[in-house]
Structure 1
Amino acid sequence: MHRRTLGQGTLAAVLAQAIAPGLHAQGTPAGAAWATSWVGSVQGPYPVGNPSAQPNQSFIFPDPAEGARDMTLRLVLRPSLWGRQARLRFSNAFGTRPLTLDGVHVGLQHGGATLVPGTNRPVRFDGQPAVTIPPGGQAWSDPVELPFATEPDSPLLMGRKLAVSLHVVGSSGPMTWHAKALQTSYATAPGAGAHGGEEGEESFPFSTASWFFLDAVDMAAPAGTPVIIGFGDSITDGTASTMNGDDRWPDVLARRLNARLGNRVAVLNAGIGGNQVVGPAEYGPQKPFPGGPSALARMDRDVISLSGVKTVIWLEGTNDFSRNGNASLEAVREGMKAGVARLRAGIPGVKVIGATVTPALGSTSAAHGHAEQDEKRKGLNAFIRDSGLFDAVAEFDRATLDPATGGLKAEMIPDSTTGGPGDKLHPNRAGYLAMGSAIDLGSVMPARR
């Protein structure tokens, strides 16, 4: 297959062509559409997963089987795109009992658990202040006006963070969560009740490095606004990058695109630490796995169902080839073929970019770093480059490989969050910066029409 890429000089023109029909001359949305601005791909039940830099959670969740009990969580997240209205998706995908939420609010984070005064707004569900989500279900909120985003193109909004507060009525039971947020969020004590309407931090003494129940945020945006998704495992999720630093490779890509295009594109992170393409064969509340459901099992919820998706960058395979996965090269190649076919059937016109798998040779992780894994990795990378399955290739392998050792470059190994020596599997901030900088910007944008 011939891969057509666009020079960076044509990028603004291509994007203008893609979204121009939805704009007035003044640049305000006309016939705006929803575009997903943030995702936190769900797994569960808590505490099964791979969090990073997690504080002691026993004070807020003393009994994982009961989960959150009559308490408020204030979840902090960074939208990739801003709009005058937002809507929120809450998930009980891996719960075993109905989840009731009320007192849901969204506001602009000031610092810690404190909100910028006057920005906090209540969230409704079909006009009601509460919602009950059945086990395995999800619920979108009604649109909510964001008073601080009346000028969504303002550069002063770039990098700002939302605080989504939610009160769990009663006991949630097993909690659907995203373990590795690499972002500090906040919680009241169990039994403290509803405090989402408060702007201050006094009711939120506890912290967490994970997200719970919330798994997507949409923003109202001009029709055709492109949404780009990084889909994969811990090396997309950001293990060993900087806690609260927003320097995973999708973050780097987002900032590069924002520098050229402003608030006209979204880049999402749909990684889950430990995720595999084809494993595990089964996943559920009674049979969980730290890496979450397989990429194929979660693709509909975490990619296809989202709003405005135009491009998917798929980086995965190293966990399949680990001693935890033990998958064959053929199984992963066939899994990728099936996944790409599903993406193209579910999102007509989507661009699917294959990312070459980064090296792990010599890793200190017991499950990784062995020669057989590296041989399979090289075989998968050859398939990604040469099969013609993908519309383009992101060369993460070449950006991070030390040819002298066959492993990661030395400067990419020390852990940026813990300050430890690193595991020779997960790139640090320097590695993610190199990966995000290696992506051809033209290749990720939608094709001309």
Structure 2
Amino acid sequence: MDRRTLGQGAAALALAQALAPGLGAQPAGAENWVTSWAGSVQGPYPVGNPSAQPDQSFIFPDPAEGARDQTLRLVVRPSIWGRRARLRFSNAFGTRPLVLDGVHVGLQHGGAALVPGTNRPVRFDGAEGVTIPPGGQAWSDPVDLPFAAEPDSPLLMGRKLAVSLHVATASGPMTWHAKALQTSYSTPPGAGAKGAEEGEGSFPFPTASWFFLDALDMSAPAGTPVIVGFGDSITDGTASTMNGDDRWPDVLARRLNAAMGNRVAVVNAGIGGNQVVGPAQYGPDRPFPGGPSALARLERDVISLSGVTTVVWLEGTNDFSRNGNATLEAVRDGMREGVRRLRERIPGVRVVGATVTPALGSTSAAHGHAEQDEKRKALNAFIREGGLFDAVVDFDRATLDPATGGLKREMVPDSTTGGAGDKLHPNRAGYLAMGSSIEPAAVLPARR
């Protein structure tokens, strides 16, 4: 990174502080729930696009039966901290009632081990468990987090929570988020409820996906901005670093936290393979690796989240792939409809369009062809000039090699597995450039 880039970064952070005055200090007013982490759901397992997935046959020997009398310990990184939290669990793509009990939340020490004394039980309307019907979801009761009694402490930045949940009976088809890029853990089937344990001995098996948990709220001062990254694998983070928190929303979150401290949340609502308008149908009996279309999941994955102030929408490359075969007109119309719904359902929301990154020459069979690139360029022109969005972030400009029309060379090798890369998904260098290119003025609420 050269001096010019460093100077631009310092100027951007100064601008962030100017745009959001007072967010760095603790207000005396009321607190609200704000989304601190999200994992958009798809399913049922194993249909999806996980990255760096270990062998799951020891955890889920029969996907049709799902999890059975076992405990999952899911590791998540809150974007913002509060003294209290609440959790949302989903059975959106299940076909049987999901019975959960023995739910706990604690501060991760390392692996599946917790920091001693931090594990706390989670209740549901005062009960130790909850049954979620097929297609349903459930919020937990608020749970106090004594270890976050000083949520503004910089020592909490980047720390991770471990959410343990016992699936009491055979779950059947499992609602999941395939591409966590974060190692979580499981007991064997039939091991019983182990969530109260702070050690890791009961959790021998790793997974690179999240199951059933799809949102985490923290209590935060009223007016805390919540920025949602909405899109496909290039928001989900394919080819970034496993356990490295190197997706572009992570980079943006760290930049804003450096400027404002614990006063802004950035959450990820990407699904690898997602499309704006396809597939036409989706469900447990009609699964698709990329999850339900952006329009079909907008309510659950964005609108229903707590405290959303900004949505950054990066999508379209999969619509134009050989898997999608959508017309430019269909994707433009889909974006218009999505923006209309967002503004209708979230008064005052700021909707930011992100230009689609290049894929020309990709080694992926469905991507990299000339027709896809022509449609991408036309969609980017619409995003930049069509007047639909409140602001634009130019990821195309940040990643394009003008000499080849594809990704810059240094952004091609795969950071997740160390492979050659597919010339479709940016690596850590690419995501860093994308997250660093966003002007805070584009994504923060306007000064009042």
Bin the TM-score by the shorter chain.
Answer: over 0.9
Root-mean-square deviation (Å): 1.2
CA deviation digits over 1:217-268, x for unaligned, max 9? 0000000100000000000000000000000000000000011000000000
- Aligned AA for 1:379? A
Q: TM-score, normalised by structure 2?
A: 0.96
User: Mapping of 1:325-404 within 5 angstroms?
Assistant: 325-404=324-403
Residue 14 of structure 2 is matched in structure 1 by 9
1:85 maps to 2:84: yes
Residue 380 of structure 1 aligns to a residue in which SS? helix
How far did residue 442 of structure 1 move?
1.5
- Aligned AA for 1:14? L
- Aligned AA for 2:14? G
1:197 maps to 2:202: no
CA deviation digits over 1:157-213, x for unaligned, max 9? 000000000000110000000000000000000000000000000000000000000
CA separation in 2, counterparts of 1:10 and 1:428?
Answer: 28
User: 2:358·2:400 contact (CA, 8 Å) conserved in 1?
Assistant: yes
How far did residue 13 of structure 1 move?
3.8
Residue 4 of structure 2 is matched in structure 1 by none
1:440 maps to 2:417: no
Residue 211 of structure 2 is matched in structure 1 by 212
Count residues in correspondence.
438
User: 1:234·1:271 contact (CA, 8 Å) conserved in 2?
Assistant: yes
1:238 maps to 2:237: yes
1:114 maps to 2:113: yes
Unmatched segments (≥5 aa) in structure 2: 1-10
User: 1:29·1:221 contact (CA, 8 Å) conserved in 2?
Assistant: no
CA deviation digits over 1:39-66, x for unaligned, max 9? 0000000000000000000011000000
User: 1:96·1:173 contact (CA, 8 Å) conserved in 2?
Assistant: yes
How far did residue 9 of structure 1 move?
3.2
User: 1:8·1:442 contact (CA, 8 Å) conserved in 2?
Assistant: no
Residue 181 of structure 2 aligns to a residue in which SS? coil
Residue 323 of structure 2 is matched in structure 1 by 324
1:33 maps to 2:35: no
Residue 278 of structure 2 aligns to a residue in which SS? coil
Residue 342 of structure 1 aligns to a residue in which SS? helix
Residue 309 of structure 1 aligns to a residue in which SS? coil
Residue 129 of structure 2 is matched in structure 1 by 130
CA deviation digits over 1:301-354, x for unaligned, max 9? 000001111000000000000000000000000000000000000110011110
CA separation in 2, counterparts of 1:417 and 1:29?
Answer: 43
CA deviation digits over 1:115-155, x for unaligned, max 9? 00000000000000000000000000000000110000000
CA separation in 2, counterparts of 1:349 and 1:315?
Answer: 20
Residue 3 of structure 1 is matched in structure 2 by none
CA separation in 1, counterparts of 2:392 and 2:27?
Answer: 34
User: 1:228·1:312 contact (CA, 8 Å) conserved in 2?
Assistant: yes
Residue 157 of structure 1 is matched in structure 2 by 156
27-36 vs 288-297, greater mean Cα deviation: 27-36
Q: TM-score, normalised by structure 1?
A: 0.96
- Aligned AA for 1:446? P
Residue 310 of structure 2 aligns to a residue in which SS? strand
CA separation in 2, counterparts of 1:190 and 1:167?
Answer: 10
Residue 312 of structure 2 is matched in structure 1 by 313
Residue 171 of structure 1 is matched in structure 2 by 170
CA separation in 2, counterparts of 1:198 and 1:154?
Answer: 27
How far did residue 417 of structure 1 move?
0.9
User: 1:354·1:392 contact (CA, 8 Å) conserved in 2?
Assistant: yes
User: Mapping of 1:51-62 within 5 angstroms?
Assistant: 51-62=50-61
How far did residue 419 of structure 1 move?
0.5
Residue 142 of structure 2 is matched in structure 1 by 143
Residue 230 of structure 1 aligns to a residue in which SS? strand
User: 2:16·2:256 contact (CA, 8 Å) conserved in 1?
Assistant: no
Residue 16 of structure 1 aligns to a residue in which SS? coil
User: 2:13·2:256 contact (CA, 8 Å) conserved in 1?
Assistant: no
Percent identity reads 82
How far did residue 12 of structure 1 move?
2.0
How far did residue 15 of structure 1 move?
1.9
Residue 264 of structure 1 aligns to a residue in which SS? coil
Residue 225 of structure 1 is matched in structure 2 by 224
- Aligned AA for 1:400? T
Residue 170 of structure 1 aligns to a residue in which SS? coil
CA deviation digits over 1:397-417, x for unaligned, max 9? 000000000000000000001
- Aligned AA for 2:148? A
CA separation in 1, counterparts of 2:275 and 2:41?
Answer: 14
CA separation in 2, counterparts of 1:177 and 1:69?
Answer: 15
How far did residue 290 of structure 1 move?
0.2
Residue 348 of structure 2 aligns to a residue in which SS? coil
Residue 163 of structure 2 aligns to a residue in which SS? strand
CA separation in 1, counterparts of 2:444 and 2:35?
Answer: 16
- Aligned AA for 2:342? L
How far did residue 31 of structure 1 move?
1.4
CA separation in 2, counterparts of 1:224 and 1:281?
Answer: 37
How far did residue 29 of structure 1 move?
5.4
- Aligned AA for 1:46? Y
Residue 250 of structure 2 is matched in structure 1 by 251
CA separation in 2, counterparts of 1:402 and 1:430?
Answer: 14
User: Mapping of 1:14-25 within 5 angstroms?
Assistant: 14-16=19-21
- Aligned AA for 1:412? M
CA deviation digits over 1:60-102, x for unaligned, max 9? 1000000000000000000000000000000000000100100
How far did residue 11 of structure 1 move?
2.6
- Aligned AA for 1:302? D
How far did residue 28 of structure 1 move?
5.7
CA separation in 1, counterparts of 2:32 and 2:21?
Answer: 16
User: 1:357·1:396 contact (CA, 8 Å) conserved in 2?
Assistant: yes
CA separation in 1, counterparts of 2:18 and 2:167?
Answer: 46
Residue 429 of structure 1 is matched in structure 2 by 428
- Aligned AA for 1:142? D
CA separation in 1, counterparts of 2:422 and 2:15?
Answer: 40
